[in-house]
Amino acid sequence: MKPSNLKTKIFLDSGDPKETREALALLGFLDGQTTNPSLVAKNPEAVGKKFSAAEVLNFYEGVVKEVSSLIPQGSVSVEVYADKDTSCEEMLDQAKNFYAWIPNAHIKYPTVTEGLKAAEISVKDGMRVNMTLVFNQAQAAAVYAATRSSKKGDVFLSPFVGRLDDRGENGMDFIANTIKMYQPGDGHVEVLVASVRSIDHFVKSIELGADIITSPLKILKQWAELGMPVTSKQQTADSNQLRPIPYEELDLNRPWQEYNIQHELTDKGIEKFASDWNGLIDKSK
């Protein structure tokens, strides 16, 4: 059962509907699920297989539809294929297709110029979005600015805590900084903590007041075993080795095009998602 004092929504980070079932059985609730090309490639039914380009999309559609049917009240994030050359128009075409798959989709766009253009158009057209591969406050400010016309619940921002930790920066500082920066805003962007690697990330995100956490099943299991704590008293934090990320004063009221959104990890992330997706495809098929 969901703890009564838990305000943060809990999502599963997975490309496998079997894990959705397990998470539901384990927690007794699930507020949503996020998928991405790498997670779909890890689905046991995809591992070792080669698809045609059409077949792989059918496979993704099947996964997303099954997940959606298991959590009809929740949100399911479906990510567009993008590499460094993918245009806004190409992303929008995919988004429209994905949006017709299920009634509870959020479309994931990478937080680069073309992705932000696509997000701006999408929210104006009434589509829900989840801006992914977010690694700094300028990107978070740009997402806020590009989606200004939308209502709470329609826009998620996915800051990647674990990938910052991986390179020695304290990813949780970035979560705290983003929440602080959004504080004086109108609340239309929900902070969805992504790239969660530990129970410590998970519980600290609740303590910081994150709107949503998406977590691998393994960490949901640890959280359930600990009795679903909402404070970190029961954990021992070890982020001392990580470099602090200082807060930046940024004005949320600028046009999104004015923020410097380039980030090396966003570019690397796009490359990895594209290569995992392309790894599923046999071009001769």
List residues near ligand E4P by CB under 6 A: 13, 34, 36, 38, 132, 158, 160, 162-163, 194-195, 214
CB of 129 or CB of 285, closer to ligand E4P: 129
> Residue 266 CB, nearest distance to ligand E4P (Å)?
12
Name the residue whose CB lies closest to ligand E4P.
Answer: 195
Task: Report the candidate in 209, 243, 241, 205 with the shortest Cα–Cα distance to residue 223.
Answer: 205
> Residue 20 CB, nearest distance to ligand E4P (Å)?
15
CB of 122 or CB of 269, closer to ligand E4P: 269
CB of 89 or CB of 118, closer to ligand E4P: 118
> Residue 257 CB, nearest distance to ligand E4P (Å)?
25
CB of 106 or CB of 117, closer to ligand E4P: 106
Task: Report the candidate in 6, 5, 12, 2 with the shortest Cα–Cα distance to residue 192.
Answer: 12
Catalytic residue among 108, 151, 268, 285: 108
> Residue 96 CB, nearest distance to ligand E4P (Å)?
21
CB of 36 or CB of 86, closer to ligand E4P: 36
Beta bridge partners of 155: 129, 189
Q: Can you tell me whether residue 76 is helix, strand or coil?
A: strand
- C-beta contacts of 48-57 below 8 A and 24+ residues apart: 49/280, 50/280, 50/281, 50/282, 50/285, 51/280, 51/281, 51/282, 51/285, 52/281, 52/282, 52/285, 53/281, 53/283, 53/285, 55/285, 56/277, 56/280, 56/281
- C-beta contacts of 267-272 below 8 A and 24+ residues apart: 267/84, 267/112, 269/110, 269/132, 269/133, 269/160, 269/163, 270/82, 270/83, 270/84, 270/110, 270/112, 270/133, 271/83, 271/84, 272/38
Say whether 108 is catalytic. yes
Q: Can you tell me whether residue 59 is helix, strand or coil?
A: helix
For CA atoms 13, 16, 17, 21, the dihedral sign is negative
Q: Which two tokens stand for residue 162?
A: 């674990």
Residues found in the chain = 285
> Residue 163 CB, nearest distance to ligand E4P (Å)?
5
CB of 15 or CB of 176, closer to ligand E4P: 15
Report the catalytic residues: 108
